[in-house]
Chain A
């Protein structure tokens, strides 16, 4: 285990926050656009430097050293009820580097991608970006569930704000709200889980919990329920079945935002949380089993949907859901290390895929892959970078995806989860197929005649893609050279490579060589095809459930409000009106009638005095 310096970790955390405060509070700066972007980019570069220094300066320590530094937060009798602080172990530091790196690259890319935005909007965009990076870093460095939950919600808020960045588009506003509410559904479980855990153990902090869990002294009734509830939070955030439906819609945001959400910040939070809290999850094998099954199923389901999607960004979104399924399956198989490895490598090449897709969309002015083609000849660099990322995603040696996917598959096989393993193997075939479908349709094939010559993509976008491509290659080569191998039988790499190759060949046959008509292929698989095109009716089911349950409930409440609550009030007010109407007749306006009142009052006083 390696331990980093908490001061540097706080610096990593502080830089994006300061940038956010500056952009949020200094109105002229925010509305100036480009200078605001520069502030945010510089702060993020500083944060990346600090994160790199943090990793560089980390010192190896024994396993039983507490990697967290805490400050008390909520004071209570007998010690603080909750504390804040930083937790700087190897995983957190690596995650910090990933988050700051992707954030920085995405921000640089956005500089060109959103060049046409009005300056005020651009400042807002960068303010959100800084807050997003700060929230994710805070989540990564959290030493306890409570702090993690706070940043967890901040991350959700930021993704809401960024998905709905073009809030004047109804579809974007709807997608933002959908993402927010679907993830909130999971967060309900998360918050209930951590509160129950606190009630049972009296602490939110990871360190004492992990110590007790590893020593076997953690006696908590209903731990399985608690961990299941906590896992629900990850289901929402990391888009696991059945709460994955928000992620494809989140494509309504600007493409760099998608890259950020998919690669480094939002969706990885769930995987990271489960990996972080793995010592607790390890105590409940039933929940782990569930995590693995749901993960593998999500991977397969999303891959089938990606195969029939026409929108390039949605294909990538489904592929993210699918890869998140891999990570969760690894978590469930008891290999959080493999999950985290896949998280980092996937973060790099998925960012590259999205940013490359941004250039593609920029070029063709459409998201529909069937209206693209022949881009490779015009933009070989972009095509090459995209191809590298695609190969990485498909899991082809010697790219990083190969090694991390290998680790995941090996772990799942190791845990004797044969059905999930088969699902994941099938998924790797489908992954290769749908990704190369996109590649063949977009970069090869015939250039559609309607496209006149386009200017080359701006230098910033191009440079970011090249940097990520080089990084992907470097990661893969490093893994290949260091002989980094996961446990697992010797045939495993060959099997997965063979499946990936088969997927590529099938995509080539159908979409490049046109040897098989895609229509016939889909006709042969008609039931799955139809289901996948309809997204397995999950959106419809959610909408239906929403309509029947929520709207029905609302109608009942509305009826009660309208007829019971309002009825009582109406009766009261009508009674008051009628009483007033009756009583006003006493006010005749004639002085003598009032004298009657006075005389009666005097009489009463006299009688009263007499009796008293």
Chain B
């Protein structure tokens, strides 16, 4: 029962915040709504018995990403000298296309039969750690390399003009 209530709350917050992200004219507000949506997503992760991912979501996404975006907005806002109002283009066609894609996905989702939810058990965090160190060890290393390259690239792009 608590799951249903939790899901409903998280879903409403998530969908509402998402809509706000794409609809609000104030870019800064949009970022804050994004943060709300990300936190709600973290809640969904909790409902799916993944507290570790919830923590990662909060730390990296809601914390890191939103911070970076806020910094970027403030930087450009400082450069442009006015608060950035954002407008939308082709709202109707975008909505139609998005709705069509949604309908198409729904076609698949509704085709699938009900799947029984297995009993959660074991130490998920330990298993995750083993997986990351074992079968997924190489991708993890590559991911580290990717992050380093991305950071260096971002630094290079954003360096002060000389």
Contacts and interface: CB of A to CB of B under 8 A. Distances in A.
Contact of A607 (B93, B98, B104): B104
B104 A599 contact: no
Interface of A (DSSP majority class): helix
A603 B101 contact: yes
Contact of B101 (A602, A609, A610): A602
Interface string A451-493: 0000000000000000000000000000000000000000000
B135 interface: no
A603 B89 contact: no
Contacts of A606: 101, 104-105, 107-108
B111 to A, nearest CB: 8
A573 to B, nearest CB: 35
Contacts of B104: 603, 606-607, 610
A592 interface: yes
Contacts of A610: 104, 107-108
Nearest to B104: A606
B100 A603 contact: yes
B97 interface: yes
B97 A603 contact: yes
A600 B108 contact: no
A602 B105 CA distance: 10
Q: Which of B98, B104, B108 has the most CB of A within 10 A?
A: B104
Interface residues of A, number: 10
Contacts of A599: 97-98, 101
A571 to B, nearest CB: 36
A603 to B, nearest CB: 6
Interface in B94-115: 97-98, 100-101, 104-105, 107-108
A606 B93 CA distance: 19
Nearest to B89: A592
B105 A596 contact: no
B22 to A, nearest CB: 13
A592 B88 CA distance: 12
A610 B104 CA distance: 8
A606 B98 CA distance: 13
Contacts of B105: 606
Nearest to B94: A596
Contacts of A596: 93, 97
Interface string A586-607: 0000001000100110110011
Contacts of B97: 596, 599-600, 603
B99 to A, nearest CB: 11
A455 to B, nearest CB: 91
Nearest to A604: B104
Contacts of B108: 606, 609-610
A610 B101 CA distance: 13
Nearest to A606: B104
A607 B108 CA distance: 10
A602 to B, nearest CB: 6
A605 to B, nearest CB: 9
Contacts of B89: 592
Interface string A184-196: 0000000000000
A94 to B, nearest CB: 95
Interface in B136-162: none
Contacts of B101: 599, 602-603, 606
Contacts of A592: 89
Contacts of B98: 599
A199 B148 CA distance: 84
A600 to B, nearest CB: 7
Contacts of A602: 101
Contacts of B100: 603
B125 to A, nearest CB: 35
A606 B100 CA distance: 10
A612 to B, nearest CB: 12
A603 B89 CA distance: 21
B135 to A, nearest CB: 30
B36 to A, nearest CB: 25
Interface string A171-192: 0000000000000000000000
Nearest to B97: A599
Contacts of B93: 596
B67 to A, nearest CB: 25
Interface in A119-175: none
A456 B149 CA distance: 99
A610 to B, nearest CB: 5
A596 B95 CA distance: 11
Interface in A326-355: none
B91 to A, nearest CB: 12
A592 B89 CA distance: 10
Interface string A44-65: 0000000000000000000000
Nearest to A602: B101
Contacts of A600: 97
A30 to B, nearest CB: 69
A599 to B, nearest CB: 5
Interface string B77-99: 00000000000010001000110
A155 B107 CA distance: 86
A599 B107 CA distance: 16
A129 B107 CA distance: 91
B154 to A, nearest CB: 19
A230 to B, nearest CB: 82
Contacts of A607: 104
A600 B101 CA distance: 8
Nearest to A610: B107
A301 B103 CA distance: 100
Interface in A221-279: none
A358 to B, nearest CB: 89
A595 to B, nearest CB: 9
A602 B98 CA distance: 11
B31 to A, nearest CB: 20
Given A599-B98, A602-B101, A606-B104, 13 more contacts: A596-B93, A596-B97, A599-B101, A600-B97, A603-B97, A603-B104, A606-B101, A606-B105, A606-B107, A606-B108, A609-B108, A610-B107, A610-B108
11 contacts: A592-B89, A596-B93, A599-B101, A600-B97, A602-B101, A603-B97, A603-B101, A606-B101, A606-B105, A610-B107, A610-B108
Interface of A: 592, 596, 599-600, 602-603, 606-607, 609-610
Interface of B: 89, 93, 97-98, 100-101, 104-105, 107-108
The 10 closest A-B pairs by CB, nearest first: A606-B104, A610-B107, A599-B97, A603-B101, A603-B100, A603-B104, A599-B101, A607-B104, A602-B101, A596-B97
